[in-house]
């Protein structure tokens, strides 16, 4: 059995350390009230047994709590007092410098919590360590100075989660939709260098990757770009290539017909598109931003975003090449084609690509084949999105999320009366733990709603802290964002404040654990017709809270289905500590993301998507649904059937399959999760390899693909998943 030390490192459980600590406290009291060696041994054994029954690696603080209770259970109150006093004194000493131990453990790569905090960061790399070290300092400043005490206490208790506190000390925002069109058409500035409008498609792709890297280094969430913004440069390259071909023909004294010239031009144009798309794919995979990871980038593929028929055809060529290259994958260090985590791809299902016989169905079939092999693209239904994302003028809109699932709300620019999405952003997220609300109520419905409102008000307070932290930020803090077109073209020295109000940007109330909340309060899953109304009532209550806050502050608060990654483990541990092991509620090392059906609940893919579609409508600030499927590479027709169902029934969904490789024996099936001494490990079923450095594992965990492994809570959740098809 392992324990988690205060600095995040793992260590073997040692019962003798418990006995030694109790013995020291015992010797410090009067001999008349001391315990016997046998009593001390029994205390140690009872604590060891309690730790084993948690089914996970307990933290040092939890073990000390158990020791205190065990001493008092033996009636040795003087010894307990001595033990508590010693513990308190040591805690005061530790608080005098809160970051040194964690930073040192980061450098030595033995901080297990941080090692598995982000599934796309390798903590052994210097750049990642530097980012994490800065993050530890930011967390410390945030905890001790910047945030109110009640918000900090609630965060540490797992009642709420104040996301990305490792970046809060700086004036940084969460995620955005990059206005690539503005930057390419009107020019931009990168690192003090003027970048003018590109004169070819390949140059536009190269500039786009530079913009992606710069944006990623100036915010901490995901970003999205649209391939539509690259499409006009296809015609520019076509014209340029045509002039070159005509010149060559004149030099050679050849006078071919127009059809022959067009064939040569289109062949060369296709090659340029191939090179341009390859630039984006390989640059994104190989770039490292200042936070030590590849840019968290989503690429949007939406045919109806094109402004004319020719641009649509050119966009289709770019999409085709993007899908072809992603299907192929990238080579690992052994030269084997594997699945990369980024860029994330989103493909829009629309009238002219959804059915056989439609003009662009060939792209949809390519998308299905790519999904079956590489887990992307994910799918947005234009049909459903136009129904759900309606602006103040009554117009529906289809647009991409920012990163993996964070959606902007519909917005009409008051100056132009036109809709606007690119160039907008999210200010940040605070998540409420719905499971804790339920458990704190003890199944008393009146008490539940009272506690719910109290917790929502705490989230409101924390979100306003996020807003105030951004307020007053000068455009000089991130010129690429605020001055040179990614999000705005403000003047030097101008505050970004006007972009924080009126719906231009959003700020997100996240939520987690709806399934467990409903299960505890009603005794049933929220998929049960008897419990579903309560689940929808909970969702509506949070939406109503956001609506009230928006009216009060003129800030666009929006409900967001939180993609818990490492936090799922933190919440689970906090719940177990506060409420113990409750079967079906707190007996796992994770809680369920947002509104999702529990990962182990048997349900077919079509029923799951239909059910979750209702909850997506109530998560306007962001949501995504998924179905877990087996290897579908030999059953593309089934993938297409699911895609048609998505088009008709749900706004945004994805298919989860597996894409693994063992570098030791060459196995390319599914790497398995095994339990070893209470810890979950990854193992090749063919050769038994357990060295994570010698295998490539790709799993979708939170709307995006992770490739650097996960903490024990998320790993257990991955293991527990059932197939929906």
**Which residues are known catalytic residues?**
174-175, 402, 404, 406, 426, 560, 565, 703
CA nearest to 113, candidates 63, 56, 53: 56
**What's the CA dihedral at 99, 105, 107, 113 to 10 degrees?**
-100
Instruction: Look up tokens 């913004």; give the residue.
Output: 229
- Helix, strand, coil content of the chain in percent (nearest 5): 50, 15, 35
Taking each helix axis from N to C end, the angle separating 445-470 and 532-553, rounded to the nearest 10 degrees, works out to 40
Structure tokens at 538: 């909970």
Buried b / exposed e across 616-627, counting CB within 10 Å, b at 16+?
bbbbbbbbbbbb
Alpha-carbon radius of gyration of the chain: 27
End-to-end CA distance of the chain: 36
d(CA 264, CA 270): 10
d(CA 704, CA 706): 7
Buried b / exposed e across 592-614, counting CB within 10 Å, b at 16+?
bbbbbbbbeeebebbebbebbbe
- Integer angstrom CA distances of residue 720 from 591, 713, 714: 12, 11, 10
Cβ-contact 426, 173 below 8 angstroms: yes
Q: Using alpha carbons only, what angle is made at residue 712 by residues 709 and 716, rounded to the nearest 5 degrees? A: 95
Secondary structure element (H or E) that encloses residue 381, with its range: strand 378-381
* DSSP E strands, 323-458: 330-331, 337-338, 344-349, 378-381, 412-413, 418-419, 425-433
d(CA 624, CA 615): 10
d(CA 245, CA 261): 7
Taking each helix axis from N to C end, the angle separating 309-328 and 361-374, rounded to the nearest 10 degrees, works out to 20
- 584: phi > 0 → left, psi -120 to 50 → alpha, else beta; which? left
CA nearest to 25, candidates 74, 75, 81, 63: 81
Cβ-contact 223, 298 below 8 angstroms: yes
Residue 426, beta-bridge partner list: 175, 506
Residues listed for the chain: 725
377 preceded by cis ω (within 30°)? Answer: yes
If one counts every other C-beta atom within 10 angstroms of the C-beta of residue 552, the result is: 10
**What's the CA dihedral at 28, 29, 34, 35 to 10 degrees?**
-50
User: Residues 6 or more apart from 133 whose CB is under 8 A from it?
Assistant: 103, 106, 107
**CA 253 from centroid of its chain's CA atoms:** 59
* DSSP E strands, 608-713: 625-628, 652-656, 659-662, 672-676, 679-683, 695-700, 705-706
Half-sphere exposure of 29 (CA within 13 A, CB side): 20
d(CA 579, CA 527): 25
**What's the CA dihedral at 571, 574, 575, 579 to 10 degrees?**
180
Q: What is the DSSP letter of 692?
A: G
343 preceded by cis ω (within 30°)? Answer: yes
Q: What is the DSSP letter of 515?
A: H
d(CA 19, CA 89): 20
């Amino acid at each position: 059995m392992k324990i988690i030390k205060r600095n995040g490192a793992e260590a073997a459980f040692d019962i003798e350390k418990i006995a030694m600590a109790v013995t020291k406290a015992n010797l410090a009291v009067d001999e008349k009230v001391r315990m016997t060696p046998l009593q001390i041994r029994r205390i140690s054994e009872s604590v060891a047994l309690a730790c084993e029954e948690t089914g996970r690696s307990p933290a040092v603080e939890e073990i000390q709590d158990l020791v205190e209770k065990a001493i008092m259970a033996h009636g040795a109150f003087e010894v307990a007092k001595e033990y508590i006093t010693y513990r308190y004194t040591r805690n005061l000493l530790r608080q005098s410098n809160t970051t040194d131990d964690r930073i040192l453990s980061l450098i030595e790569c033995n901080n297990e919590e941080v090692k598995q905090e982000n599934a796309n960061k390798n903590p052994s790399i210097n750049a990642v360590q530097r980012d994490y070290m800065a993050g530890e300092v930011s967390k410390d400043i945030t905890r001790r100075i910047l945030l109110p005490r009640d918000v900090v206490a609630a965060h540490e208790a797992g009642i709420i989660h104040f996301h990305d506190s490792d970046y809060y000390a700086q004036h940084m925002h969460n995620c955005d939709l990059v206005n690539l069109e503005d930057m390419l058409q009107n020019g931009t500035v990168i690192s003090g260098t003027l970048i003018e409008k590109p004169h070819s498609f390949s140059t536009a792709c190269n500039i786009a990757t530079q913009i992606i890297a710069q944006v990623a280094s100036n915010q901490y969430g995901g970003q999205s770009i649209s391939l539509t913004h690259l499409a006009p440069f296809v015609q520019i390259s076509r014209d340029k290539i045509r002039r070159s071909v005509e010149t060559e023909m004149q030099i050679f004294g050849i006078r071919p017909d127009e059809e022959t010239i067009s064939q040569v031009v289109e062949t060369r144009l296709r090659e340029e598109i191939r090179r341009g798309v390859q630039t984006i794919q390989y640059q994104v995979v190989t770039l490292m931003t200042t936070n030590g990871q590849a840019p968290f980038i989503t690429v949007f593929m939406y045919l109806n975003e094109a402004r004319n028929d020719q641009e649509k055809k050119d966009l289709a060529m770019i999409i085709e090449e993007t899908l072809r290259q992603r299907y192929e994958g990238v080579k690992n260090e052994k030269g084997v084609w594997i699945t990369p985590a980024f860029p994330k791809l989103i493909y829009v299902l629309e009238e002219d690509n959804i059915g056989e016989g439609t003009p662009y169905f060939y792209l949809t079939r390519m998308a299905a084949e790519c999904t079956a092999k590489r887990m992307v693209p994910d799918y947005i239904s234009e049909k459903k999105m136009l129904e759900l994302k309606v602006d103040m003028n009554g117009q529906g809109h289809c647009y991409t999320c920012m990163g993996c699932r964070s959606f902007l709300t519909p917005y009409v620019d008051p100056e132009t009366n036109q809709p606007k999405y690119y160039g907008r952003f999210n200010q940040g997220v605070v998540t409420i733990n719905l499971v804790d609300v339920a458990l704190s109520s003890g199944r008393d419905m009146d008490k539940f709603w009272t506690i719910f409102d109290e917790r929502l008000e705490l989230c409101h307070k924390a979100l306003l802290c996020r807003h105030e932290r951004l307020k007053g930020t000068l455009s000089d803090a991130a010129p690429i964002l605020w001055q040179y077109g990614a999000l705005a073209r403000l003047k030097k020295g101008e505050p970004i404040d006007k972009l924080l109000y009126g719906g231009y940007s959003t700020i997100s109330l996240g939520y987690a654990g709806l399934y467990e909340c409903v299960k505890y309060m009603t005794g049933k899953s929220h998929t049960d017709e008897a419990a579903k109304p309560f689940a929808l009532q909970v969702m509506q209550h949070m939406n109503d809270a956001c609506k009230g806050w928006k009216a009060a502050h003129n800030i666009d608060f929006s409900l967001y289905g939180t993609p818990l990654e490492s936090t799922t483990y933190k919440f689970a541990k906090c719940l177990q500590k506060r409420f113990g092991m409750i079967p079906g509620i707190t007996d796992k090392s994770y809680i369920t993301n947002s509104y999702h059906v529990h990962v182990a609940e048997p349900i077919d893919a079509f029923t799951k998507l239909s059910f979750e579609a209702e909850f997506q409508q109530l998560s306007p600030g962001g949501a995504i649904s998924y179905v877990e499927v087996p290897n579908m590479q030999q059953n593309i027709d089934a993938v297409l059937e699911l895609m048609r169902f998505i088009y008709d029934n749900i706004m945004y969904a994805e298919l989860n399959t597996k894409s693994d490789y063992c570098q030791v024996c060459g196995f390319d099936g599914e790497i398995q999760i095994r339990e070893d001494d209470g810890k979950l490990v990854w193992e090749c079923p063919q050769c038994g390899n357990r060295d994570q450095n010698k295998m490539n594992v790709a799993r979708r965990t939170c709307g995006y693909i992770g490739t650097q492994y996960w903490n024990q809570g998320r790993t257990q959740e991955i293991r527990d998943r059932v197939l929906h098809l």
